[in-house]
Amino acid sequence: MSTPAVERLEHLLGIVLHAGAVASTTLLAVGLLLLMVAPSHPWASWATTAGLLILIATPVTRVVTSVAQYAVERDWLFVTLTAMVLVVLLGSLLVARG
């Protein structure tokens, strides 16, 4: 299974997950520290919420990346499958808003 296409996808998804992990944990840590030492600081709750939202958005971004990469490879079965996951994610967003 170690085809170049698989390796490229693994590489891309690794970058997305790594970036999401670093960005979210950094913002969560900074926000939390600010909330404790300077709760009224305008960045305190902003950074914490942003960290949380990036954390939740990371797997979504990972799915979007998969759809795009499978489309580039013209692997339509997996474009369909990953797009279905994206639709389910949108569904939970609709439930959350409704």
Partner 1 sequence: MITISVALVAVLFLMGALAGTLGALLGLGGGIFLVPFLVLVLHVPMHLAVGTSLTTVIATSTVVSAGRLGRQLVNLRLGMLLEVATTLGGLTGGVVAATIPPHVLQRVFGVVAGISALMMFRRLDRRNVILDPSADPGRLGGRYHEDESGGEVTYRVKRIPVGMGVSFVAGSISSLLGVGGGIIKVPALNGWCGVPLRAAAATSAFMIGVTATTGAIIYYGRGDIVPWMSASTVLGVLLGSRLGMAVSEKARAKPLKLLLAIVLCFVCVLMFVRAR
**Residue 50, exposed/middle/buried by CB under 10 A (0-12, 13-18, 19+)?**
middle
- Dmax (CA) for the chain in angstroms is 53
Residue 39 binding partner 1, by CB under 8 A: yes
Q: Which amino acid is at 89?
A: L
Member of 38, 56, 68, 72 binding partner 1 (CB under 8 A): 56
Residue 38 binding partner 1, by CB under 8 A: no
Residue pair 96/53 in contact by the 8 Å Cβ criterion: no
Radius of gyration in angstroms for the set of CA atoms belonging to the chain, rounded to a whole number: 17
Residue 52 binding partner 1, by CB under 8 A: yes
Contact positions toward partner 1, by CB under 8 A?
1-2, 6-7, 9-11, 13-14, 17-18, 20-21, 24-25, 28-29, 31-32, 35-36, 39, 45, 48-49, 51-52, 55-56, 58-60, 62-63, 66, 78, 81-82, 84-85, 88-89, 91-93, 95-97
